Amino acid sequence: MKTFKLENEPKIESGFSTPNHYFENFSERMMLQLPEEEPKVISFFQKRKRILMMVAAVLVIALLIPQINRSLRTSKELDATTIENYLSYQSNMNQYDLINALDTEDINNMQATVALEDKTIEDILATNANLEQLILE
């Protein structure tokens, strides 16, 4: 194979050439060709900014409603049923410990006036098999 020497081979000239003194005043000529007033740019979001803000607000509110509802629903106060269930099933307190812990004001607050007819009381005593247990308590 024949050796190739870059300096000895004929060079191919490019087909492009620049005129003489073309780049001397290029920036001045370019600035003269530009329009003096810049075109007004209208953003896509500028027209619909108000609508987008409303949609974003509705979305935020929709996402926060379950959280707010959950925080309002869980109160820190215990209701009477929860306390009664805890004392009945989870605690090792019996009825005598509970009676000793109550003072007279608590006992007076618990007293309820229930108007029972004699016939209702007779029916309960007649149908109840644990009558002796009720009497002993």
Q: Is the pLDDT confidence value at 99 over 70?
A: yes
- Domain map (residue ranges) of the chain: 44-71, 80-128
pLDDT, residue 60, reads: 94
Predicted model pTM = 0.26
Pairwise CA distance, residues 118 & 136, whole Å: 21
Q: Is the pLDDT confidence value at 76 over 70?
A: no
Pairwise CA distance, residues 18 & 20, whole Å: 6
% of the chain exceeding 70 in pLDDT:
91
- Count Cα atoms within 13 angstroms, Cβ side, for 64: 6
Over range 59-68, report the average pLDDT.
91
Pairwise CA distance, residues 115 & 11, whole Å: 123
Instruction: Tell me the one-letter amino acid at 88.
Output: S
By C-alpha distance, which of 111, 84, 104 is closest to 95?
Answer: 84
- Count the residues in the chain: 137
Candidate ranges 15-29, 41-55, 104-118; pick with highest mean pLDDT: 15-29
pLDDT, residue 56, reads: 92
